[in-house]
Amino acid sequence: MRVAIEKGVASEEEFGLVCRRRPVQRLKHFGWGREGEGLSREEEAILLARYGERFGVDRFDERSPPPLAAIELREPRLAPPAALQTICSTDRYERVAHTHGKSFPDTVGGLLGDYHQAPDVVAYPRHEADVATVLDWAATAGALVVPFGGGSSVVGGIDPAVDEGRFNAAVTLDLRNLNRVKEVDRTSRAARIEAGIFGPALEAALKPHGLTLRHFPQSFEYSTLGGWIATRSGGHFATLATHIDDFVESLRLVSPRGAIETRRLPGSGAGPSPDRLFIGSEGILGVITEAWMRLQDRPRFRAGAAVRFPDFYAAARAVRAIAQAALYPSNCRILDAAEAYHTAAGDGTHAVMVLAFESADHPLEPWLRRALECCADHGGIADADGSDGGAAGRWRNAFIRMPYARERVVPLAIIADTFETAITWDCFEALHDRVKAATESAIREATGRGGLVTCRLTHVYPDGPAPYFSFHALGRHGDLIEQWRQIKVAASDALIAAGGTITHHHAVGRDHRPWYDRERPPLFAAGLAAVKRELDPHGILNPGVLIGPAPRI
Amino acid sequence: MRVAIEKGVASEEEFGLVCRRRPVQRLKHFGWGREGEGLSREEEAILLARYGERFGVDRFDERSPPPLAAIELREPRLAPPAALQTICSTDRYERVAHTHGKSFPDTVGGLLGDYHQAPDVVAYPRHEADVATVLDWAATAGALVVPFGGGSSVVGGIDPAVDEGRFNAAVTLDLRNLNRVKEVDRTSRAARIEAGIFGPALEAALKPHGLTLRHFPQSFEYSTLGGWIATRSGGHFATLATHIDDFVESLRLVSPRGAIETRRLPGSGAGPSPDRLFIGSEGILGVITEAWMRLQDRPRFRAGAAVRFPDFYAAARAVRAIAQAALYPSNCRILDAAEAYHTAAGDGTHAVMVLAFESADHPLEPWLRRALECCADHGGIADADGSDGGAAGRWRNAFIRMPYARERVVPLAIIADTFETAITWDCFEALHDRVKAATESAIREATGRGGLVTCRLTHVYPDGPAPYFSFHALGRHGDLIEQWRQIKVAASDALIAAGGTITHHHAVGRDHRPWYDRERPPLFAAGLAAVKRELDPHGILNPGVLIGPAPRI
């Protein structure tokens, strides 16, 4: 049941293996990754067997997505001017491949052949000046512009949805050609990197310098630096630099009013941080074109263990002890018993902690030893754990393959999705209980039968964890989006009522707007809208995201 | 020569001792701390002997500040309405004590009896509702409002300067009565604390819970939580949580448009961080009234050493190695040879590192051992160092007493000041050389004789240090502010040209505006101004700070 989509933990070596296996094909217009990639027959068999067992069925009602040629597409509502024709496309594949992100409703939309929101034009700027030219043209033409990295949004962050009262057409701005590492500063361990670079290319370019960004969201292979920054992506490190935010030394973006470049500094106290206003701005204030990123030396020392706990809350208390002890493990994730079972990291009788330290500088035994004492204080028993064979390795392998599952299970009417939050420790157990119960109950109401709701903690802070929920239900073709919506609404309502954030690292996009609007202070939204009016006077950048009229989910 | 003013390192025990020694007197209207406090005769003798030796003089031209009763004050330009009379004062002492901050020109202003910018009214809100009432009244009356914590600004951050074309009068809003710790969450290690609380009262209230904020700027005794947040104060920790920013879990402020409260969360990826927009907003967007702060357990383990280096750059390379090794010492400061000598931490022949680790959880020998290896790699030799007797202890004692020196040396026409920055490692040596040379040369030009410019590194990041400069010159009464201005301008110009930030943790205020305006992106300033128009439509909050027409320094 390896279907959760998460930004989380893995190593570049793992991703490297995946990359080397694939021929260079174009990205799929439906599903994850490139054409020809997907789950192996064996992976698929295991997945379907577990779902069959869970739902008590021995076959699924399978539908197929339409082939590219059969998809109905409206004629483009505008044509690029002569000067932009070499970098613009109105090709069928391009428009289809840029219509949806990778969320559950996106995948259902693809399955149904619903491409009514296809962008009219896809532009591929070759350099920053092209970005400015496209923005100018779009403003003149009355078109909205959607900045596009890898397209891996699971929250409706790249939908080219045209409100016809406000816009004439939609242009998607795909940044993949801004893909160079332009400067490396070995002394400060930093590099100036263009925003459209994908994860593997970024790491490959840094490797000869002995450096690594060590930011490995689950989408690593098919997402970009600019996308990570725009969405406050959560990465490799379970503690300290949990989000990309802390790795941004400075950035550069192009707004409709002009370029903005922040000063490259290790730290500053000069007014509110300009970087922090643009990190997480999800494409509504400007198009991030490059950033100076803080890097790491490549780790040479590792120490880790898998630790079994009698229950999830005991494991969470150990996580809290480790986080409050300031030991800073790179990995300190816990899986509840059901999640451990379904990711092959446990037998379903106990919760599992995947604990790891890494360093480029020093051996880590004292750190690991003390962390294991914290575990023992809460009933944790450490397993021997090799680099691949143990629970940690099995879980990591499952994690990397998860994104490929969605395109296989949605055609079977399986509703599988994830959502994540963060909460202070005092409210954690109450939030967990409330959200799990609300989600389970919504699954039963929406689908008429029980499903599965599991939880892990992906990132942790001294003052609270980031719980990550997965749910699985058997839906009905024809009702999938409405059934998903019922579950999503119930889960999100519970999560906000229990004090959490609507997203720890998946971003807000359009799908999370109703709850984001309750979470953020109204006058902060007013301030953000004022900044947007200043930088994007015609409101062409990613309308519906973060502020302004909210699309209905 | 213990005259530098810094936000930096000390322990609450040290500050506690200072607090217990004093009777509870009102704050001085001229100088640091409370009436009756100041340098001891012995401290003063050492200080003046060193200055005499440095400048080759055996006596100084001493002037005295006017007594309170002799200060010329204009009549208040407005009177508080009946409903606010119980919380407002137009008393001479109150107006005088709220006219100046603690910068060099502030002190010269006090020496000269220049109180033409005295606020017309000082308001002491008892609770948040009073803050809103004062803001409403001020907007109606055409008065500007200066939020005031401890008044320890060294950058013109609390000047009630009335541009008479725009405002009729000035109201200073002193928050000292919002001074309660309202809630403690032991599980998450966090507390809800009112913004007007001073450092010692805050720590005293947390102590029974076994908790500490561990934020010890040099101004700790006479500055407030709200002031620290508004100015991105730099504190105790030389690595990781160098600024107050990271300790803010959520905050609440009152803008002229209404209250804003951010959600209490350990982490989030939901849009640009609302907290980060208000942290560092220096009173121009709203008045911070309370915050949930992340706390620490009280440390039980410590390990540290003083390390001698042949020169400052060798010491800096060791600091870089330690920072990039992710060892996270709580203290990792280095003093150049001259600064070590003048703070009694060295004999003037070598640079000194003050290195310390602390933990509430575990012994720190492995951490210290590895850090000392990094030092040895760069020629560092560790001294035995007791808790009080060694170089580290002597330096810390000097550090805590420094703020009391200014009121003694300015009347002698000694120009002594500090400024700080941050810079990536690749540019550090060039910045240091350029800034030191420019400052030395400006001292010679402005005063006709040589002075002293020293440097230390106070905080450090993997990608660069925060250099902190002190300078000392012998000026002339009558020309002090102009002489200081010449030196400040030359130093700041050099610092910005060399790639640094105009402030790592002293804030921008009014004095740093010319360089801040060059440092921050113009469109970010436009965005910030748009937020201000939204939250403070009449522009009454702290005009001249961060944005808008810049006062001349």
pLDDT score, position B394: 76
Contact residues, chain B, for A274 at CB < 8 Å: 520-521, 524
What secondary structure, in 3-state letters, does B422-456 show?
A: CCCHHHHHHHHHHHHHHHHHHHHHHHCCCCEEEEE
Taking residues B224-228, what's their average pLDDT? 98
Taking residues A397-415, what's their average pLDDT? 91
Compute the distance between CA of residue B438 and CA of residue A436 in angstroms, rounded to an integer: 63
Compute the distance between CA of residue A538 and CA of residue B471 in angstroms, rounded to an integer: 50
A546: left (phi > 0), else alpha (psi -120 to 50), else beta?
left
Polymer length of chain A: 553
pLDDT-based confidence at B19, cuts 50/70/90? very low
pLDDT score, position B542: 98
DSSP string, B167-193: -SEEEEEE-TT---EEEEETTTTEEEE
pLDDT at B534 over 70: yes
Compute the distance between CA of residue A106 and CA of residue A499 in angstroms, rounded to an integer: 28
pLDDT at A428 over 60: yes
Strand B381-383 to B452-461 pairing: unpaired
pLDDT-based confidence at A4, cuts 50/70/90? very low
Helix (H, G, I), strand (E, B) or coil at B93: helix
pLDDT score, position B387: 43
- According to DSSP, the residues that pair with B146 across neighbouring strands are B172
What secondary structure, in 3-state letters, does B524-546 show?
A: HHHHHHHHHHHHCCCCCECCCCC
**Beta carbons of B189 and A462 less than 8 Å apart:** yes
Rounded to a whole number, what is the distance in Å from the CA of A283 to chain B's nearest CA?
10
What tens digit of pLDDT does each residue of B101-132 get? 999 999 999 999 999 999 999 999 999 999 99
H or E segment at B409?
A: helix B406-409
pLDDT-based confidence at A551, cuts 50/70/90? confident
A264-298 burial string, b = 16+ CB within 10 Å, else e? bbbbbbbbbbbbbbbbbbbbbbbbbbbbbbbbbbb
* Integer CA distances (angstroms), A359 to A173, A297, A516, in order: 38, 8, 37
Give the mean pLDDT of chain B.
Answer: 93
Cβ atoms B267, A242 nearer than 8 A: yes
Rounded to a whole number, what is the distance in Å from the CA of B113 to chain A's nearest CA?
31
* Integer CA distances (angstroms), A271 to A191, B277, B374, B507, in order: 25, 9, 34, 7
Rounded to a whole number, what is the distance in Å from the CA of A194 to chain B's nearest CA?
19
pLDDT score, position B389: 55
Rounded to a whole number, what is the distance in Å from the CA of B290 to chain A's nearest CA?
15
What interhelical angle do A104-111 and A480-497 show, nearest 10?
Answer: 170
**Beta carbons of A423 and B294 less than 8 Å apart:** no
What tens digit of pLDDT does each residue of B40-70 get? 999 999 999 999 999 999 999 999 999 999 9
pLDDT-based confidence at B345, cuts 50/70/90? confident
Compute the distance between CA of residue B511 and CA of residue B522 in angstroms, rounded to an integer: 19
User: E strands of B257-326, at which residues?
Assistant: 258-261, 287-294, 296-297, 301-309
- Please indicate whether residue A401 or residue B85 has the higher confidence score (pLDDT): B85
Cβ atoms A43, A231 nearer than 8 A: no
**Beta carbons of B263 and A512 less than 8 Å apart:** no
Of the ranges A247-251, B21-25, B136-140, which one carries the lowest mean pLDDT score? B21-25
Its ipTM equals 0.94
Strand A181-185 to B331-335 pairing: unpaired
Taking residues B472-493, what's their average pLDDT? 98
pLDDT at B18 over 60: no
Strand A331-335 to A452-461 pairing: antiparallel
pLDDT-based confidence at A394, cuts 50/70/90? confident
Phi, psi angles (nearest 5°) of residue B459: -135, 155
Task: Output DSSP code: residue B141.
Answer: H
What tens digit of pLDDT does each residue of A336-392 get? 999 998 888 888 999 999 999 999 999 999 999 999 999 999 999 998 654 445 777
- Please indicate whether residue B387 or residue B475 has the higher confidence score (pLDDT): B475
What tens digit of pLDDT does each residue of B77-103 get? 999 999 999 999 999 999 999 999 999
Compute the distance between CA of residue B18 and CA of residue B84 in angstroms, rounded to an integer: 36
Q: How many interface pairs between A and B have CB atoms less than 8 angstroms apart?
A: 291
Task: Output DSSP code: residue A389.
Answer: S
Cβ atoms A51, A409 nearer than 8 A: yes
Give the mean pLDDT of chain A.
Answer: 93
pLDDT score, position B418: 98
Helix (H, G, I), strand (E, B) or coil at A116: coil
Taking residues A82-96, what's their average pLDDT? 97
The residue among A358, A342, A364, A346 whose CA lies nearest residue A307 is: A346
**Choosing among A365, A510, A523, A533, which should be mutated to test the B contact, i.e. which has the most B CBs within 10 A?**
A523
**Choosing among B153, B154, B186, B189, which should be mutated to test the A contact, i.e. which has the most A CBs within 10 A?**
B189
* Integer CA distances (angstroms), B88 to B80, B85, B132, in order: 7, 5, 14
pLDDT score, position B291: 98
**Beta carbons of B464 and A268 less than 8 Å apart:** no
pLDDT score, position B384: 64
pLDDT at A20 over 70: no
Of the ranges A53-67, A395-409, B105-119, B222-236, which one carries the lowest mean pLDDT score? A395-409
Phi, psi angles (nearest 5°) of residue B484: -60, -45
User: What's the alpha-carbon Rg for chain B, to the nearest Å?
Assistant: 23
Task: Output DSSP code: residue B548.
Answer: S
Q: Within 10 A of B236 (CB to CB), how many other CB atoms are there?
A: 23
Q: What is the dihedral of CA A474, A478, A482, A485, to 10 degrees?
A: 50
What tens digit of pLDDT does each residue of A300-337 get? 999 999 999 999 999 999 999 999 999 999 999 999 99
**Beta carbons of A519 and B269 less than 8 Å apart:** no
Cβ atoms B466, B504 nearer than 8 A: yes
Compute the distance between CA of residue B78 and CA of residue B120 in angstroms, rounded to an integer: 7
Taking residues A405-433, what's their average pLDDT? 98
B268, B361, B530: residue with CB nearest A530: B530
Compute the distance between CA of residue A58 and CA of residue A269 in angstroms, rounded to an integer: 62
Which residues does A371 contact at the CB level (< 8 Å), separation at least 6? A322, A325, A327, A329, A332, A355, A357
Question: In chain A, pLDDT over 90 holds for what percent of residues?
Answer: 89
Compute the distance between CA of residue B496 and CA of residue B505 in angstroms, rounded to an integer: 15
Question: In chain A, pLDDT over 70 holds for what percent of residues?
Answer: 95
pLDDT score, position B115: 98
B255, B263, B272: residue with CB nearest A280: B272
pLDDT score, position B7: 33
A217-244 burial string, b = 16+ CB within 10 Å, else e? bbbbbbbbbbbbbbbbbbbbbbbebbbb
- According to DSSP, the residues that pair with B470 across neighbouring strands are B418, B454
Compute the distance between CA of residue B512 and CA of residue A269 in angstroms, rounded to an integer: 12
Contact residues, chain A, for B155 at CB < 8 Å: none
pLDDT score, position A393: 76
pLDDT-based confidence at B549, cuts 50/70/90? confident
Contact residues, chain B, for A281 at CB < 8 Å: 271-272
pLDDT at B159 over 50: yes
What domains lie within chain B, and their CATH numbers? 181-297 (3.30.465.10), 301-402 (3.30.70.3450)
**Beta carbons of A424 and B461 less than 8 Å apart:** no
Phi, psi angles (nearest 5°) of residue B282: 50, 35
Contact residues, chain A, for B238 at CB < 8 Å: none
Taking residues A136-149, what's their average pLDDT? 98
**Beta carbons of B277 and A527 less than 8 Å apart:** yes
Q: Within 10 A of A260 (CB to CB), how many other CB atoms are there?
A: 25
* CA B375, B380, B384, B386 torsion-angle sign: negative
Task: Output DSSP code: residue B238.
Answer: S
